[in-house]
Amino acid sequence: MSDTPSARAPIAPAVPAKAAKPAQPPKPAGRRRLRLPIAAVLVAGFGSLMLAAVASVLVLGLVSATTNTFALLNDKADLALAGVEVRVRHQLDPAREMARFVAGLVERGDLRAADTTAMIDTLRGALAGAPDVTGLAFIRPDLTGVRVGRLNGELMAEPFDMQGESDIPPEVLDGPNRSAASWADPRWLKEAQNSFVTLYQPVRRDGRYLGQVAVGVSLGDLSRFLQVLYVEQGLNAFVLYDHSHVLAHPALVGRTFDFSGKLDGPPLPRIDQVDDPALAALWSSGVPVQSLKKRVEGRSVRVLGSDYTFLTRKMAGYGQQDWIIGIGYRDGEMGVEIRRLYVTGAVGFAILLVSVGVALLVGRRISRQVARLAEAADRVRAFEFRAIPDLPDSRLREMARAAAAFNAMIAGLRWFETYVPKALVLRLMRQRETEGGLDSVQREVTVMFTDIRGFSRMAEHMAAADTAALLNEHFTLLAACIEAEGGTVDKFIGDSLMAFWGAPEAQEDHAVRALRAALAIHHAIRADNRRRVAAGRAPIHVRVGLHSGPVVVGNIGSDSRINYTIVGDTVNVAARIEELSAALQGDAEVIVLTSGVTAAKGKDAVPLVRQGGRSLRGRTGMTELWRLVLEEEKKAAPSAAGEKATPSLSLPSPPNAGEGAKPAFVGKDTP
């Protein structure tokens, strides 16, 4: 405690002239009203408007669907064929890029053609990153090499030797004579039981032929690609090798053919072997129609009572013979009214989805911001100011203003929380709800005072910041012990603390709670001192005084500022007991003295040792005192019952005790 007389404010029995009452918020009245989510209201409102708009669009679309759209069929057909050609080329062109990549490695010397292991690793890595390519090989001039291919979903690699084989592709034999990459006609590969188209890329370094890279694409993979195109875009596309053989068709997916014994013609299925009757009759019974675009040929076929239209064009660059790409559709599928209806319906439905989606998005965005505001308000009601995050800014002006105002309010409340005990305010609010008011009343309570011995001398050698840090740490430690037992921290005065139990809520066991809190403080200070000593700092010595009795409790103060506090003689007695403990503390880290009144109410809760009667300054008569002594401290603690009393028990009262010259808090630190 401070050594100056002004360190403590006097506390004397008093009755407030005017008990101030805080404003009470009005309680909601009337029956509960139906409340709708903002998101639902926005979706319903905007959805209705958009539904009317969509209906208008649909009507206009159905009317416009009666117009003739066949004028656009030419462009659509040509674009469709061009799209199929682009997609087919994109399926095959990765083979050219892969061949250039591997050939470049060999030409630069980064990969030696004779290093079989390195070649396999390189080919395997290149093939793994190109799902459109089925096989990859490097053929040396002596017709040996390595190859990597996909088989049953796995990459298989092996060296090979074509010397002595009779069916060596002419492109392999002609490799030394070619300088550019070229596609070979389809070949049957018995190991894979499939037909392939293969790109051969010669490799030279300084004019010397080193071999060639062969990249194969399975025609089965090409058919699967066309099947995906049919599923995604509804295009019945196909690729023909000539008028009699099919390179790729969605109907070939999952089918197997064996062309190992075929001696004439390409190793491809015939057009009549594909499960497409209309395509099978394309060249035999198809009737030519007027070409819609240059390079586009149209044919009409009637099969099984249905009319089909086929559009075809040639595609060069993948062998000596041009391929034929085409699309086919049933004439009824291109009906003007049906197509217009489908398009209009799809557009209208899309507008409806987008509109409702936008309304839902806007509603959810607004409702989310309002929900965040409501959640933050709930935390304000619970006084959880530190746990409230700042509300984010908003593009909506009103929401942005509300968020900014709320954030400013929370910043102010956080400062307010620093100076007003949150736990006390919550308890006062609960009391107002249950008891209906906060008038000043007389209440039986237990009062606690604490003080740090020799704090003034300690502070003389400390910087201001260090002094404040020490007090903050010390008071935090004590307040935690007090609030854990339901106590109320009334005020901090210098290095002293005042707390009480039994208000605002009535607590029958207020003395027991106070004694348990004192015991917790005893343990906490000793543990904290061990940490301080370990850190090279001096320990602190604390005095605690307790007394129970009647006080006036309520809102006491001026019109501009009030405090919820207690006043009365009980407060003075507790302060005198804490002051007297200075003479009894000795070397103890913590001394807890309590009056006989408090001890009688809670002596079974904590270990207490009777200290005899003492005359307190400013009071007549003797006050029975008890001391909290732990088991390990009993040998050192004097007892009025058995041991010889220490001189501190017979100390005379200060010479000016009866003059009233010093307030109750005034006392001198003991060494």
Q: What is the pLDDT of residues 388-432, one digit of tens each?
A: 778 777 777 877 888 888 778 877 777 666 666 666 666 666 655
Q: Tell the residue number behind the tokens 């394309």, with chain if given.
A: 282
Q: Which of 34-48, 167-181, 287-301 bottoms out in mean pLDDT, i.e. has the lowest?
A: 34-48
SS3 384: coil
Contact 552, 16 (CB under 8 A): yes
Q: Tell me the HSE value of 254 on the side-chain side, using a 13 A CA sphere.
A: 4
* End-to-end Cα, the chain, rounded Å: 11
Scanning the structure block, which residue is given the tokens 């089965």? Answer: 220
pLDDT digits (tens, 9 = 90+) for 430-486: 655 455 455 678 889 999 999 999 998 888 888 999 999 999 999 999 999 999 999
> How many Å is the Cα radius of gyration of the chain?
48
pLDDT tens, residue by residue, 278-325: 888 888 887 887 655 667 888 888 888 888 888 888 888 888 888 898
Segment 6-18 shows an average pLDDT of 40
238, HSE (Cβ side, Cα atoms, 13 Å): 28
For 605, residues 6+ apart whose C-beta sits below 8 A from its C-beta are 512, 515, 516
CB atoms within 10 A of CB 75: 11
Any bridge partners for residue 96, and if so which? none
Q: Does residue 140 have a pLDDT over 70? A: yes
- In sequence order, which residues have a C-beta less than 8 Å from that of residue 570 and are 6 or more positions away? 445, 447, 547, 548, 549, 550, 551
Mean residue pLDDT of the chain comes to: 78
Q: Residue 327: helix, strand or coil by DSSP?
A: strand
pLDDT band at 517 (very low <50, low <70, confident <90, very high): very high
Q: Just give the CATH number of 87-218.
A: 3.30.450.20
The amino acid at residue 137 is: A
- Which one is predicted more confidently, 659 or 294? 294
Q: Is the pLDDT of residue 91 over 70?
A: yes
Helix (H, G, I), strand (E, B) or coil at 332: helix
C-alpha dist (Å) from residue 387 to 381, 402, 629: 12, 19, 40
Give 524-529 contacts, CB < 8 A, sequence gap 24+.
Answer: 524/477, 524/478, 524/480, 524/481, 525/477, 525/589, 525/590, 526/589, 526/590, 528/477, 529/589
Helix H segments across 420-558? 422-435, 455-460, 464-484, 510-534
Average of per-residue pLDDT across 123-144: 88
In whole angstroms, give the CA distance from residue 591 to residue 578.
9
Q: Please give the full DSSP string across 532-548, using - where no structure is assigned.
A: HHHTT-----EEEEEEE
Separation of alpha carbons 107 and 165, rounded Å:
28
Cα–Cα distance between 224 and 222 in angstroms, integer? 5
Give CA separation, 489 vs 87, 172, 470, 567, 646, in Å.
79, 96, 18, 14, 33
Instruction: Look at residue 123 and give its three-state secondary structure.
Output: helix
For 545, residues 6+ apart whose C-beta sits below 8 A from its C-beta are 448, 449, 450, 574, 575, 576, 577, 578, 579, 580, 581, 592, 593, 594
Q: Count CB-CB contacts under 10 A for residue 434.
A: 8
Q: What fold is seen in the domain 221-337?
A: Beta-Lactamase (3.30.450)
**What torsion do the CA atoms of 35, 39, 45, 50 make, to the nearest 10 degrees?**
-160
Annotated domain spans of the chain: 87-218, 221-337, 437-659
pLDDT over 90 (residue 513): yes
Tokens of 134: 């089925």
Matching CATH number, 437-659, of 1.20.1740.10, 3.40.50.620, 3.30.70.1230, 3.40.50.2020: 3.30.70.1230
Lowest mean pLDDT among 395-409, 563-577, 650-664: 650-664
- Residue 400, both tokens: 């942005």
618-627 confidence digits (pLDDT tens): 778 888 999 9
**Is pLDDT larger for residue 251 or for residue 286?**
251
| Res 440: pLDDT | 74
Is the omega angle on the peptide bond into residue 504 within 30 degrees of 0, that is, cis? yes
Same fold, 87-218 and 221-337: yes
Handedness of CA 281, 284, 289, 292 (dihedral sign): positive
Q: What is the DSSP letter of 245?
A: B
pLDDT in tens, 590-608: 999 999 999 999 878 899 9
Which tops the pLDDT comparison, 428 or 255?
Answer: 255
347 CB-near residues (< 8 Å, 6+ apart)? 57, 61
